[in-house]
Structure 1
Amino acid sequence: MRKLPSSVIPSCTWSRPIGLGWDEPYTVRYASNIDDGYWHGMPLGGFGAGCIGRSSRGDFNLWHIDGGEHVFKNIPACQFSVFESFGSSSQACALCTEPPEDASLRTWQWYPGSKKVGREENSEEVKQTSVTPSSPQSQTGTYHALYPRSWFVYEGVFQAELTCEQFSPIWAGNYQQASYPVAVFLWTAHNPTHAPISLSIMLTWENMVGWFTNAVKSPLVRVRDDGSPVYDYQPRLGESQGNFNRIVENNESIGLLLEPVNMTEPPQEGEGQWCIATRKQPNVEVQYHTRWNPVGTGEEVWQSFAQDGSLPNHVDNTPAAEGEQIGVALAVRFTLQPGETLEIPFALTWDLPITEFAAGTTYYRRYTDFFGKSGKNAWTIASTALAEYHVWQQQIQSWQQPIIERQDLPDWFKMALFNELYDLTSGGTLWSAASDRDPVGQFAVLECLDYRWYESLDVRLYGSFALLMLFPELEKAVIRAFARAIPSCDETHRIIGYYYVIGAESPMAVRKTAGATPHDLGAPNEHVWEKTNYTSYQDCNLWKDLGCDFVLQVYRDFLLTGADDVEFLAECWNPVVQTLDYLKRFDKDEDGIPENSGAPDQTFDDWRLVGVSAYCGGLWLAAMEAAIAICDILLNSIDQKENTSTQECDRPWKASIDIEELVQQKSIYETWLTQSRPIYQEKLWNGQYYRLDSESGSDVVMADQLCGQFYARLLGLPDIVPVECILSALKTVYDACFLKFYDGKFGAANGVRPDGSPENPNATHPLEIWTGINFGLAAFLVQMEMKDEAFRIAYAVVQQIYENGLQFRTPEAITVVGTFRASTYLRAMAIWAIYLLID
């Protein structure tokens, strides 16, 4: 007899009783920030293909189908339902605990949610194993998530034991299936009783073709109250005129295809197909309804389904009229004898091949390299899924199992390690089709949903470790895009949002200066990868960390992906030279280190730094060391090739590298490093930790003060400061920013005085706990053999996220009063840096 999936659900999942809400969830810090509430579950779908989300109450409510755009809305007709007949009784439930708020589907019965019946316990034993404390509850089942898998285990309602495992084919190093627009729902039904049980599992879905594209083709960009640029996005929800549904089948599978009558060739954004399908099996009856009203009473499908689990096999291919919406239903009916177990797979797919940025600027999605670009392949994708889902499931398990089985890692860490990868699916992710220039396509993830621009370089300094470790070719594709952008210039002038917020007159700033490293790769309403520096909260041409961030990530990506892709280094070399030359212009006193200007000109873009700063100065020193190391590798590679035959050393990159210039640049960087290293120590070391900066007179202990040192040691470069100073500074950070800041309950604050008190109680960034910075700090602690301290910080942050309704929308920042800012944030994937250092 086959084991139930519930028996093999890993112990380290994040779990939540089905339908149980939160008493005091975190809420947004600023009213203008996105706050969808706490009903978020693990997303389903491939990278860059668009994704959907299903929460722990059972509703499908997240629709990131249009690249870079966010739609959060429960569409009740998109749902699983179960009919059960046992003995003389029967029942049917739609498997969501929240009925529609309007009068739609009023004939349906809805699944009962779990209820809390006692106070939550908070034992030390529970803390060590899970971030979800146990509590006495009236449970109707449990939702589990360990990305890219999640499970619904239904209990106490049906006689049958029912589990639904959900997943998409995501595993490390997979550059094909990870792009597929598909979700697999693998049902396992077991009869534990001594009598037969008749069951029917139904999937209903709306024809949503054409819904996910912006009705405003040239949206006006405006400055929001927090100084960020925003634009209107109006999806075409409910606009189904001309859509129709039909049956499709082959020898193995049967499905329902949802499509438009007329589709443009080539298709436009939003055009294509959806499909739901299941496998044919002996002694299993598949029934269907091809056209019903999903915003009506729902009786067309519910009347027969609630009576005996059947559907009328109704076929109607009539297209939707104006103002009409249409849905489909697919039901699998079977009988389980006592002790019998049956597995029922469903596949949900969508083929919407085009992503459009500004009107007329379009890209094909990566999955079209494998299924074609016509937008007519949803059934082919579904058939593939139903043929291969067991292989996909095994691939995921083989990737996850070595980590799951590690005894030196607590369950809460394993849980967060995998679940924080959700952002690679639902972070507005783009993954374009391959080209000669980009053989695995171009890739990008949003900074977050509130700051909707791609791959912010300062944020990904920590946040890109997951991509680097699991999908290194995509990581290098992102860095290549930054390298291509550095020489470019955009003379467009614009106001700076920061001055708008503080009520001062804003200077006009050029969007992108030649030689400056851009902050980001652009936004979905313009032209991602080509039109960079979308954010205008600060003038990013003045930032003192971006150039260093670029150099360090170039060398890191080379070193940690085998240290053999010299062509990648060579591609990035001229941009490295350009951006370091540009950054050196800000060394006004010629002491070797670029000074911060007094405006917030780095990743903490509400925090004024003046003169030489610990944060930016340290990154500068590490970047000098990395640049010197790159010079050595290129010189050695050229020397080696000079000693081989002409045929063997014929590499395109060699022609772009001048040996004399390399030698000269290395000498320049060595001079700058020799000059700046003692200055950094002299101006900033106070005997206990590194001062915030050299001119403000602040005594704040900055949590991330030695980010440059962390990177230097990570990359095998010489320490930028003495070891005894590193340890003293780290211990001070741990004591002041973590232990003395609300007793370490929330994590480490960005910057407080040595006694844990605020320098300015009204400050923003210094008193926030940044999730990604905390994970980066924890990685640094592990690096310096302070693993216990590292795990205490990481645990505090993970606990705040997963116990307060922030799961699968991890924010940039949380506060001690239960607020958050900037959900679905890229930097939180820095938790993979901890694993890298432990491993």
Structure 2
Amino acid sequence: MLPLILRYIWYYIKYKLTGKSIVMDYIVFRGQNKFMYWKRLQGEFCRFQLRPGIYEWNTIDANQFIVTIKDEHQLTIFHSLLSTYPKSGLKAWKSYIDSSRCHYTGLYPRSWTEYDLTDYGIKLCCRQISPVIPHDYDSSSLPCAVFVWDIENVSEKERTVTIAFTFKNGTGNKKGDKTATCSTKEFTYFNSQGVVLYHTIDKMQCTYVLAARADDGVEISKCLYFDPNSDGSKPWMQLKNYGEFKENSTTVSHGHIFGEMGCGIAARATLAPSEKRELAMTLSWDMPVINFPGKERKYNKFYTQSYGTENAGLKIINVAFRRYSEWEQSIYNWQKDVLNDSDLPDWYKSALFNQSYFISDGGGVWLSLNEGEAKTLPRSDPRRTYGRFAYLEGHEYKMYNSYDVHFYASHALHKNWPYLQKCLQYDLRDYVFVEIPNKVEVLDNGHLVERKYPNCVPHDAGDPGEEPFIQLNAYPINDVSNWRDLNSKFVLQSYRDAIMTQSGKPDLQYMTDMYNACYTVMHKSMKYDRDGDGLIENSGLPDQTFDTWCLLWGLWLAALQVMTIMADYLGNLDDKKRFEDILAKGKKSFEEKMWNGLYYNFDCSKTQSATIMADQLCAQWYLRCCGIKDYTIFPKDHVTKALKTIYENNVQSFCNGKMGAVNGFINGDVDTITLQSQEIWTGVTYALAASMIQEGLLEEGLNTAGGMYKSMTELFGLSFDIPEALYAHKHYRAIGYMRPLSIWSMQIALEELKSKS
């Protein structure tokens, strides 16, 4: 890998000097100083992703919840931040919370934090609700969060409780940017009151709305401005002394400034002994129109179809206050069958839902098509209704819809937001036929290659630092137009999405819409079968998702099988016969060349063939995910033996069986031929576990995934920052990654197993 490393360093220097977007940053790692943050969950606001494709990992001292408790004589008996994260600024703001008396529970997209303040006569619980709700596309598109404070007076005296919510203009203005102006104004809108904070970010208007619900007996006060770079004593002492913000009653707005500004709201209620009350607060961040760096083309966010591009933030907080109870119930209904299943271990219940964070925290953009674009599409195209959805491969790997990885992650969308999955597929279908002839240098060997060849599936939909959806294939390492897995993965996903529908009936219109592209890419892949044995060969270079490891597993055969089924459905009998003939030849060759009695060899070489690869049955896993229960390609006894061999070696013989499945294992030890053979890929481990469950190896599947998840969260502290890869000793690569969404294939397998019992 040394030549690649040297070329990468030169590439990095050139791109830094010219201000170009670096797609895969191996020099500055995101979140490298946040190792313990996700383990502690100390109540701070961290990780902003407002500008498309750009993560900012700043922890914002000014973004806080503050509690003030007064006794029956209106004397302040407790005043504190409701986080325990150490601050660097706002020195007057203090935390007196005893963290041992706080308890956080996360079941994404809801969570709750309990604060035991019985020494002061109060118990608090903050329920946090994000409207990320399966099959509810309107709610799931809304940029908002609801914080519901349940307050209980456990004393024998009256208590007055104030909850204040403060917020700054995003992560602030960088490098004295004079275009990034800020201003605030207060508002009353239906049954809510609050503050609107306007902030220009890279010439894009972002509006934050902080609001509290104006219930009977609730007093709301506002702070329209405080300096987040001061010691913060003015708003702090107002809350401590009065239990409210003391703004001049004639002040209704705070004008434009070029610096950083904070604002806040406070809700106050008085509780009799044993009384319980609820205070509801909402934050909305409304950036309705976006563009990518240096590009003039503008895109509207999907939610603007319903809420417009003007003052959408106020409309959104109104909807949030009206519907958050409904959202909370919908989320509970979605989760309850899993949570109430006594046969499932607790770690799995946590993993399934909390690892779904990446659906909304994956740097995604959900855009509406403009009217002209939508009118050119046939009525069967879901993009007319649901727009365009794209999410990043990872927080450090800035490529939208990296298709080799999405293949694993797509189960989360297919299961919960199937129309978003279909919209993504329609985009990929169109990209198949695109050609981008300009030459780019690939870092693996320094060759100049065409950026995108026609008649093949692209690696990705582009880099948000360029012009995504137009400049495809931002991935810089290899010539992805000749990758061996992308075409097969497109065919398999197209089939699954057409067959495994909510109604239980095949979507033949969707299958028809995808068929030509599927046929085209299969025809393109046939040229890789140089010896006519029905199998496509590796190029001699890494040319699939394991991009430092030369291999080729059975995806091609699985794609052939589903092509025969699709051709049959659509009456293309000549195509069916052709694919059946190739499949019969390829299956025979695969068994003769690869099966060794215990597992499928890594390849046909003399040096590497003995490697036990954790992902060797990826094709069989996907066929089962597609509802195909026969063993047309891989004999059942071979599948079972291979899975048991992987479990005994890659899982149980690695880190005492407590780290998941290492990618490669050879001669009784980890295969060290390349970096990736030594890694545990979180998404591959979940896929392997799902495959085990599909084949009746339930205990092995749960042990495989459970060991990895518990190590990842309890030892590594990466609960909401799931990386692509783990190593044996507290190292990881590519934080915040797409592939672990493959855990939803475990849920699909478990549901199938449950239906049989």
Q: Is the aligned partner of 1:149 residue 2:110?
A: yes
Q: Is the aligned partner of 1:822 residue 2:756?
A: no
Q: Could you say which residue in structure 2 is the equivalent of 1:63?
A: 48
Aligned counterparts of 2:286 and 2:26: Cα–Cα separation in 1: 37
Q: 2:61 aligns with which of 69, 76, 83?
A: 76
Q: Could you say which residue in structure 2 is the equivalent of 1:669?
A: 579
Shift of 1:171: 1.4
Aligned counterparts of 1:387 and 1:625: Cα–Cα separation in 2: 49
Aligned counterparts of 2:469 and 2:123: Cα–Cα separation in 1: 49
Aligned counterparts of 2:193 and 2:704: Cα–Cα separation in 1: 50
Aligned counterparts of 1:39 and 1:382: Cα–Cα separation in 2: 33
Aligned counterparts of 1:29 and 1:534: Cα–Cα separation in 2: 13
Residue 320 to residue 294, structure 1, CA distance change in 2 (3 Å): farther
Alignment of 1:370-519 (within 5 A): 370-374=306-310, 376-434=311-369, 435-436=374-375, 437=377, 438=383, 439-499=385-445, 506-519=446-459
Query: 2:285 is matched by which residue type in structure 1?
Result: W
SS in structure 2 at match of 1:150: strand
Alignment of 1:667-816 (within 5 A): 667-698=577-608, 699-717=610-628, 718-719=630-631, 720-753=633-666, 755=668, 757-760=669-672, 763-803=674-714, 804-816=716-728
Q: Could you say which residue in structure 1 is the equivalent of 2:539?
A: 597
Shift of 1:259: 2.1
Q: Could you say which residue in structure 1 is the equivalent of 2:21?
A: none
Aligned counterparts of 1:330 and 1:41: Cα–Cα separation in 2: 27
Shift of 1:711: 2.1
1:111-132 alpha-carbon deviations (Å, 9 max, x no partner): 4463xxxxxxxxxxxxxxxxxx
Structure ranking higher on relative contact order (CA contacts 8 Å, 6+ apart): 1
Q: Is the aligned partner of 1:608 residue 2:550?
A: yes
1:745-787 alpha-carbon deviations (Å, 9 max, x no partner): 21110011152x1343x63111100000000000000011000
TM-score normalised over the length of structure 2: 0.89
Q: Is the aligned partner of 1:94 residue 2:81?
A: yes
CA contact (8 A) 1:242 1:319 kept: no
Residue 697 to residue 38, structure 1, CA distance change in 2 (3 Å): closer
Q: Which structure's residues are more often helix, by fraction?
A: 2
Shift of 1:191: 0.8
Q: 1:355 aligns with which of 290, 296, 300?
A: 290
Query: 1:742 is matched by which residue type in structure 2?
Result: C
Aligned counterparts of 2:312 and 2:172: Cα–Cα separation in 1: 16
Residue 204 to residue 715, structure 1, CA distance change in 2 (3 Å): closer
Q: 1:330 aligns with which of 249, 255, 265?
A: 265
Shift of 1:474: 0.4
Taking only aligned residues, the RMSD between alpha carbons, in angstroms, comes to 2.2
Q: Is the aligned partner of 1:176 residue 2:176?
A: no
Aligned counterparts of 1:608 and 1:801: Cα–Cα separation in 2: 27
CA contact (8 A) 1:59 1:74 kept: yes
Q: Is the aligned partner of 1:529 residue 2:469?
A: yes
Q: 1:189 aligns with which of 151, 155, 163?
A: 151
Query: 1:726 is matched by which residue type in structure 2?
Result: V
Q: Is the aligned partner of 1:583 residue 2:496?
A: no
Aligned counterparts of 2:670 and 2:172: Cα–Cα separation in 1: 51
Residue 823 to residue 242, structure 1, CA distance change in 2 (3 Å): closer
Residue 33 to residue 313, structure 1, CA distance change in 2 (3 Å): closer
Shift of 1:336: 1.3
Alignment of 1:176-325 (within 5 A): 176-208=138-170, 242-259=181-198, 270-314=204-248, 315=251, 317-322=253-258, 324-325=259-260
Shift of 1:34: 2.2
Q: Could you say which residue in structure 1 is the equivalent of 2:302?
A: 366
Shift of 1:472: 0.4
SS in structure 2 at match of 1:752: strand
Alignment of 1:599-638 (within 5 A): 599-609=541-551, 613=552, 615=553, 618-635=554-571
Residue 784 to residue 95, structure 1, CA distance change in 2 (3 Å): same
Query: 1:151 is matched by which residue type in structure 2?
Result: W
Shift of 1:709: 1.8
1:650-684 alpha-carbon deviations (Å, 9 max, x no partner): xxxxxxxxxxxx33322221121121110011111
Aligned counterparts of 2:411 and 2:77: Cα–Cα separation in 1: 51
SS in structure 1 at match of 2:399: coil
CA contact (8 A) 1:291 1:317 kept: no
SS in structure 2 at match of 1:391: helix
TM-score normalised over the length of structure 1: 0.81
Aligned counterparts of 2:179 and 2:270: Cα–Cα separation in 1: 37
Aligned counterparts of 1:111 and 1:537: Cα–Cα separation in 2: 50
Aligned counterparts of 1:176 and 1:712: Cα–Cα separation in 2: 32
Aligned counterparts of 1:155 and 1:329: Cα–Cα separation in 2: 24
CA contact (8 A) 2:462 2:473 kept: yes
Aligned counterparts of 2:365 and 2:97: Cα–Cα separation in 1: 38
Residue 381 to residue 39, structure 1, CA distance change in 2 (3 Å): farther
CA contact (8 A) 1:210 1:236 kept: no
SS in structure 2 at match of 1:364: strand
Q: 2:487 aligns with which of 547, 550, 554?
A: 547
Q: Could you say which residue in structure 2 is the equivalent of 1:107?
A: 92
Query: 2:634 is matched by which residue type in structure 1?
Result: V
CA contact (8 A) 2:404 2:545 kept: yes
Aligned counterparts of 2:390 and 2:649: Cα–Cα separation in 1: 36
Aligned counterparts of 1:333 and 1:60: Cα–Cα separation in 2: 23
Residue 524 to residue 547, structure 1, CA distance change in 2 (3 Å): same
Residue 241 to residue 815, structure 1, CA distance change in 2 (3 Å): closer
1:433-479 alpha-carbon deviations (Å, 9 max, x no partner): 15444121111111111211012222122211111000000011111
Shift of 1:29: 13
Aligned counterparts of 2:323 and 2:625: Cα–Cα separation in 1: 39
Aligned counterparts of 1:391 and 1:159: Cα–Cα separation in 2: 31
Aligned counterparts of 1:488 and 1:563: Cα–Cα separation in 2: 32
Shift of 1:155: 2.1
SS in structure 1 at match of 2:66: strand
Aligned counterparts of 2:256 and 2:234: Cα–Cα separation in 1: 16
SS in structure 1 at match of 2:368: coil
Q: 1:831 aligns with which of 731, 743, 752?
A: 743
Query: 2:182 is matched by which residue type in structure 1?
Result: N
Shift of 1:251: 4.6
CA contact (8 A) 2:529 2:537 kept: yes
1:478-503 alpha-carbon deviations (Å, 9 max, x no partner): 1111111111111121222234xxxx
Aligned counterparts of 1:476 and 1:731: Cα–Cα separation in 2: 35
Shift of 1:382: 1.2
SS in structure 2 at match of 1:245: strand
Q: 2:35 aligns with which of 27, 34, 38?
A: 38
Aligned counterparts of 1:548 and 1:372: Cα–Cα separation in 2: 40
Shift of 1:99: 4.0
Aligned counterparts of 2:51 and 2:579: Cα–Cα separation in 1: 45
Query: 1:713 is matched by which residue type in structure 2?
Result: R
Aligned counterparts of 2:172 and 2:96: Cα–Cα separation in 1: 31
